A and B are shown apart, each in its own frame.
Chain A
């Protein structure tokens, strides 16, 4: 369990008297902008990774950029860590309060400032919900493409911090590909504009660097996103396989055929059975795996591509191929997929979601290997994931009330992530490193990269006070964790010096 910060392995700061901190913040903020009572702060003690918990010193709820600046300057002056938080739906403990921190919640900054349908942009405050942007854009025939499963609740500021993905990112890109401009604020309270109204900006691409930086570099105070015209038609196909391997092979074959589906999702038997019981989506529960392949565009093109996808799936051994008969069945197929995570509650009291990405062609091997690891560790694993971009979400089923339950689940999760790295992939495709995967970072990166990451952080945040102990492990932690930076048995550029 990594909710406990370790003075030997994590960046720590001299404690600041809580009363002094609260009075300093009270001086610069209006009444009602602070939560100081323990019961009020409970809401903020964890994000979507609820197993990790900790209380901040105080919660600040700024309503505008000026109040964000006031909080940051106060924390910079007193040497107090700051953990920024959006809607708290993150799955990696990125918004877990660190000891003695100010938890900076951006949830009150939730206004859509402007929609410009001609420029195809939306300018919004960081606390605006992801789905609210698409809803506001819909009257203009436009939408915001990145659609993480939590889009009903998650906020755009958090999406930027995590570089959130979703079902549609195979075709339409991640958050980073759909941003136009960011307003950010450094710990010292300096406001900077990254990106702009044009398609590029002079200088280094700091907007790309800022995206996915997990609150370690600066606080996002305003976001301008790009909007896309909504496709005129969309259709989904369900293909069922008697063998998980065949489903994996079909995924690679679809992409190899030059088809970029709007979504290409896979569920194995455990996942689809639970989802079917939960949602009654009409999934064939006797299948070993199903693929959901969504295509969008012109009606005739979709019909033609559906035929090609069907032929590819059948050639890979599909036992059943079905196109949704109408829009309501299409919605139902997706409702099953979206309900797969909550459906896990039918299988076990708790689940632990892993987020590795692998090259697509490794899917069959990795799924088999996960099956073996699952048996070795005596924990069931359900697979439901973004197959089109190789982003796995193995769900490890466990019981937190059992002695050592979470530790066993974490141990298996760690093995799966190391497997992803060994296969040429990554420990996190879209959920972020946060607190949760900080040890596995040592498996993916060597000390030279980690040193550079800290140098990048120091360029933005010299005091190191923004979200300390997250995303980037200290060298001491990597020594302690003992992981070596190894890909399939050999480090890249092994002959060159690594510091």
Chain B
């Protein structure tokens, strides 16, 4: 942990606020950076680098509350190590793409790992945030308790907003106990057969925590109380999958996840998507597809939209190329008004999500 003193932390927050105020006054775009491990994700942002990684440290962690509050620049690895010592973890299993990856970046990116369909998205774990708005003012939304309906949920809105609405200063997260038992099994099943089986499994109260298809085999992870996990594992049979499979999937190290041009399709789990234009790895029971393809963007986006979902050019977007699926005009106009509500001068990561936002 960084050993900043209280006054250093205060000075750092003041400095960030001053930088934001100055940028807003001059309409200078800011590129907000934590560990800068996900610079590839989203459209390229010009502008001054606003490094938040120095604003680090745990503010409060009380294991019996299942809540941790840390400054946004805190490294995610440090947070996970701290939680693990109390037999707890982050429910949403975020990808950590470098040792400098910070909590602020993880929340802003809103990316979650294999446990997402079973334990919720990043925003489902966020209980509260403090952000700097465009006037350099500290805004505190939510809090440190799970049930809280006072005020609009500005805190959940920050998850996945790619820093376009504010500079995250502090985040409170709900954390989860590590279950007593975890086992993984794999099966030699083609995707269509695997998908049919997944559909029947998902209708049962099973302790599933990971369902992925690597192109050749179906992998199931079971987490929970020992008896339920053991019973499901015994019923399924299959071969043992090493835990590292899930780690590699989570941190995007598996096979084609390293492709220079990689698509992420988010689609209904039950969609029939069997003739994809490239090698695919399916996570989230089939609801998240990692596609290594040079097919035209339009074709891939249409493919995802027709299945009821959307496609993100996760890595390898060319200059000016769209990354996220376009929004309908009415929704995009609302996004612009909402951005202006938080960031009237439009200085926070402009264009990172969409051109003109």
Contact = CB atoms under 8 A, between A and B. Distances in A.
Interface string B181-212: 00000000000000000010011111100000
Contacts of A361: 62, 64-65
A198 B308 contact: yes
Contact of B149 (A198, A209, A433, A497): A433
A495 B136 CA distance: 12
Contacts of A428: 148-150
A65 B14 CA distance: 49
Contacts of B340: 455, 459
B149 A424 contact: no
Contact of A205 (B130, B157, B179, B203): B157
A357 B145 contact: yes
Nearest to B332: A203
A165 B164 CA distance: 30
Given A176-B156, A452-B139, A460-B334, A424 B144 contact: yes
Contacts of B88: 258
A375 interface: no
Interface stretch (B113-121, B244-252, B255-263): B113-121
A386 B256 CA distance: 47
User: Which of A162, A260, A357, A391: most chain B CB closer than 10 A?
Assistant: A357
Contacts of A441: 150-151
A6 interface: no
User: Which of A163, A212, A253, A430: most chain B CB closer than 10 A?
Assistant: A212
A201 interface: yes
B216 interface: no
A114 B151 CA distance: 32
Nearest to A228: B205
User: Which of B178, B206, B334: most chain A CB closer than 10 A?
Assistant: B334
B308 A118 contact: no
A449 interface: yes
A193 B329 CA distance: 12
Contact of A204 (B67, B144, B161, B228): B161
Interface size class of A (residues with CB under 8 A): 35 or more
B64 A499 contact: no
A101 to B, nearest CB: 21
Interface size class of B (residues with CB under 8 A): 35 or more
A138 interface: no
Interface in A458-490: 458-460, 471-472
Nearest to B142: A426
B17 A165 contact: no
Nearest to B178: A258
Contact of A304 (B207, B225, B308): B225
B227 A304 contact: yes
A307 interface: no
A198 B310 contact: yes
Interface in B47-100: 62-67, 87-88
Contacts of B161: 204-205
B10 interface: yes
A163 B146 CA distance: 12
A123 interface: no
A212 B148 CA distance: 10
Contacts of B157: 204-206, 208-209
User: Which of A169, A202, A448: most chain B CB closer than 10 A?
Assistant: A202
Contact of A495 (B14, B66, B121, B324): B14
Interface in B220-251: 224-228, 231
B139 A424 contact: no
A203 B327 contact: yes
B14 A301 contact: no
Contact of A359 (B130, B144, B225, B288): B144
Interface in B166-180: 169, 176-180
B205 A252 contact: no
A191 to B, nearest CB: 8
Contact of A492 (B110, B140, B354): B140
A430 B147 CA distance: 7
User: Which of A217, A433, A495: most chain B CB closer than 10 A?
Assistant: A495
Contacts of B177: 258-260
A255 B66 contact: yes
Nearest to A163: B149
Given A258-B179, A304-B226, A499-B137, 18 more contacts: A119-B270, A196-B308, A199-B116, A202-B312, A204-B335, A256-B64, A259-B177, A301-B224, A301-B225, A359-B67, A361-B62, A424-B145, A426-B145, A428-B150, A429-B147, A444-B150, A449-B151, A452-B133
